[in-house]
Every structure is written in C-alpha cells, then in structure tokens.
Amino acid sequence: MDGPGGEAADARVPLVVVSHRGPVRFERGDDGRRRVQRSGGGLVTALLATLPALDPTRYDPVWLCAAATDEDRAVAAEHGPEAVTVEEVAECPVRMLAIDPDEHDRFYASFSNPMLWFIQHGLWGLATEPVIGRAEHDAYREGYVPVNRRVADAVHDECEQRGGASPIVMVHDYHFYLVPGLVRSVFPHARLHTFVHIPWPQADAWRVLPAEIRGALLHGLLGNDVVGFHTHRYARNFLLSCQELLDLPIDLGEMVVRIGDREVAATWSPLSVDVESLQAQAADTHVVDRRRELRDDRREHLVVRVDRSDPSKNIVRGFLAYDLLLEQHPELAGRVTFLALVPPSRQDVPQYARYLLDVRETVEAVNARHGGERWQPIDLRVEENLPLALAAYQEYDALMVNSVADGLNLVAKEGVALNERDGMLVLSENAGAYDELGAFSIGVNPFDIVQQADAIHEALTTDGERRHDLHVTARQMVEHNDPARWLQQQLDTLERHVGAGPPV
C-alpha cells in the first residue's frame, strides 16, 4: 500500500505461502495417466481464489505444501526444488514436499491431530486424556520437529532462489508453528506471518503439553512479525499465553508482545468465502437437481446442518436440542425435518470413530421417539456430498451452527451467502464467525440444549420481515469481507508492522 512496487520483474517481492494441504493433488488413474484435481477446504479455497489475483507486478508467489498422495510424491521427485505450475487449476507455482510417510504420520496423525487440534478446541477430557507417554513425545520429536525443519529448509531455499532481501513468508495453521522461528534464525530479514485458522485457547489449555514443547511452539510462532487470528479473543489469548507461559512483556492496547529487541503483533481478521464462486457452483446442474428434490420432499420447516463428524462441531447436542424442541412443541410433529449432512472425518482416530457412533445412536433415538412411518424428524446423511450441501444452503429455514469451539466456521458464511428463503442462522457464541454474524443471528451457548431448542423454535417462527432484514444484513457482511480483501489485509498488516522492506 506504500505505492506501486514498480513494473520491473526484479522489483517483485518473493512471497512464499505455506500450508499443509496444497491447492492440487495428483493421482494416477486406472489408465496409467496422471491426473490433477483441486483440493477442498476453506483455507485452500480462499487462497486459490486470492493468490492468483494478487498484483503480479508486486509479488512473486510460490505455494509450498506437503505431498499428499503417492503421485504427489512422484511429481515432487521429478521436479526437485522446482515448483510445478498447473495453470488450469492453481494459477500459481506450487512446490510439493515429499515427506517420509512414517514421519508424516507422527507429525500429522499423532501430534498435529489430535494433540494440537484437541488442545486448541478444548476437547480433551483432562481427567483421563491425553496421556502423554513415549509415543506422544516421539510424535513431537520424531515427527512435528523434523517436518517443520524440512518445511523451513524449503522456505529458505525458495527465498534464496527468488532473491530479495526481505521475502514475505506466510505460514498457515497449526501444522507449522516451528517454521517461523527456524526461518528467522537463518534469514533474519524475512517478513514472517502466520495465520492460525483454529481457536487460540487461553494459556492454561497449553499447560497440557510438557513445558519444553509448549515453549518451543510459542517461540516458533514468535519468530513471526505478525501472528494473525480470526478474532480479537484469540489474538488476546495468544498474547496472554506469551505472558503467562513465557513471562514475556505484552501490551494489550497495542496488541504486541516483546521478545528480545523485536515486537510481534497479534492481529485479527476473519476469513470469508468467495460469494461469486459459490453462486457459480450452486448453478451447477447437480445442485439444481438436489435442490428440486429438497423442495419436492420438504415439510413446512427445514433445519439444516453441514459439518464434518468432528467432536468440536457439537452434532450430538444439536440433536438433543432438537429432541427437546419436539418434546416442548408437539405441534411441530410432521412439520419439520432436520437435514444433517455429516461427511465422516478422521475415522482412524478413536475419538472420532466413537463420536460418529454417538451421532448415529442419537439420531436413531430421536427418530424412534418422535418419528414414525410417515415422518423421520432427522435425515442424517453421513457422506461427502457438495451438491446436496449447496442445495441445502439455499433451502434452509434454520441453519444450525452450534460448535463447541470453532476457529471461524465457514459453513455459517456459505449458508448466509447462498440461502434464498430468508433462513435464520443459529450460531454458537464459541464460533469465530460470531464476532461478525452474532448480531444478525440467534446466538447460542453450545452446551445449553434448552437455549438451543428455544433458538431453533425462534428461528422457525420469527416473522418474515425480521427474517428478511437479518438475512440481508448478514449476507452483506459476508459479501463485503471477501477472501481477496482478507489476503491483502494480511499483507498490508505485515508491511505496516515491518515496512515494505529494502528495495531488492
């Protein structure tokens, strides 16, 4: 924002984006031919929508990610340190890192998930779990640490290849907390930024980890110039964590923590969804078909939820609240359906497998209690079905987002962006999206099923004018804060905090 960077190619700033999941994945088909496809997920979708839109005269971007498939690893081996460009998909050079599968498993399946995910979402039942034994220590030392080192080396390599004394490095999410510290130690003038896409809990949640591990993670993040979060609450928690766990001085007015002679800023700006792209997807014929089916089959009221079967999503309590609603409002019998789209998630993790079982059992119990041959109160679909999800977004009267904890929750925004019935959003106070959308939704405490039952009732009975006003305002909010704006905001914040860097 400090004026144009100039037209010459060598004035471009190297921009290394790091995320665990990359924008594309390669597969080898039955015909033996290599195929490439886009990955899913909110972060990837947002970056795919925004990175190619950055001013090409200012930035020289490359996207670093982990090779996810065997074919990814083959591609990585063929290209070595060179980035692949897959114009039709990514429109941005991509470098995939081949990581030893065992090491990756310790890094990903044993440490990042579930350890960091559970800590940051407050999901551990601390009386009995986790038990941090030798396997957990190894997952960190022989998994998280070496994978972070590998990524940091690749970042360093990309920065050197691309020249520029002050490259920008943007690291995404909880997989790579050590990377900024490692990059800083070999490249002190890099401008470093991490965006944490999941909640940052209060300091005591981190005390679950051995002191040397939690200290290393925080110090890794403190290699950044800026650490970004979806909400002010997370940014504040991060600073207070630095104070309480590392005894570092913080300033909650300026939102900075001081370490040595450096200052690290904690900022907040919620990610959003690309409304135009969503609308284009929703116009697809598969979606239109699903939508017609929903309309043909629908009862008077349609409640919808769309969530991976992750314990943080609070699917069971949502059904218990609906159960209570049907008990308290017998007049709703036969007049409402709760359509729950629940793609299965991480079924190799015992807690996740047990949770999906709980979800199924709860649905059976509620349907047995209130339903009959002619009406099933809950329609549970345990499957990945994007067309149906997009159709359901358009058709809901109430969208249930009652997460126990949620960095942001893009479902709330996708629903608001696409809904065409002035549907109401029932939104957890503990979802990051509550900061933006709370005023235009019915807020709920995720633990309180009485309040959630009342909220669904309110969502189904609020009068039309108010529904319309709330929906329109919420949609404007979502449209306004689009992903391109978000990415540019991160870059501007970084430049504001460390300057545009010396000319190359």
Shortest Cβ 81–its own copies spacing (Å): 38
Residues 6+ apart with CB under 8 A from 1: 492, 495
| 58 vs 385: CA distance, rounded Å | 39
CA–chain centroid gap for 236, Å, is: 19
Q: Does residue 94 contact residue 86 with C-beta atoms inside 8 Å?
A: yes
Number of residues written out for the chain: 504
Nearest alpha-carbon partner for 58 in 497, 492, 496 = 492
SS3 assignment, position 164? coil
Q: Which is nearer to its own copies, 208 or 288 (CB)?
A: 208
Shortest Cβ 429–its own copies spacing (Å): 7
Q: Which is nearer to its own copies, 204 or 297 (CB)?
A: 204
Residue with tokens 């979800």: 359
Q: Which is nearer to its own copies, 50 or 312 (CB)?
A: 312
Interacting residues toward its own copies by CB under 8 A:
122-134, 137, 201-204, 207-211, 240, 311-312, 314, 316-317, 320, 324, 351, 355, 358, 404-405, 429-430, 445, 447-451
Nearest alpha-carbon partner for 266 in 244, 223, 234 = 234
Shortest Cβ 403–its own copies spacing (Å): 11
Q: Which is nearer to its own copies, 73 or 121 (CB)?
A: 121
Nearest alpha-carbon partner for 496 in 215, 185, 226 = 226
Q: Is 255 left (phi over 0), alpha (psi -120 to 50) or beta?
A: left
Q: Does residue 93 contact residue 62 with C-beta atoms inside 8 Å?
A: yes
Shortest Cβ 391–its own copies spacing (Å): 29
Crossing angle of helices 211-221 and 232-246, rounded to 10°: 130
Beta-bridged to residue 82, according to DSSP, are: none
Shortest Cβ 326–its own copies spacing (Å): 14
Q: Which is nearer to its own copies, 79 or 207 (CB)?
A: 207
Shortest Cβ 360–its own copies spacing (Å): 14
Q: Which is nearer to its own copies, 256 or 315 (CB)?
A: 315
Shortest Cβ 251–its own copies spacing (Å): 13
SS3 assignment, position 432? coil
Q: Which is nearer to its own copies, 118 or 338 (CB)?
A: 118
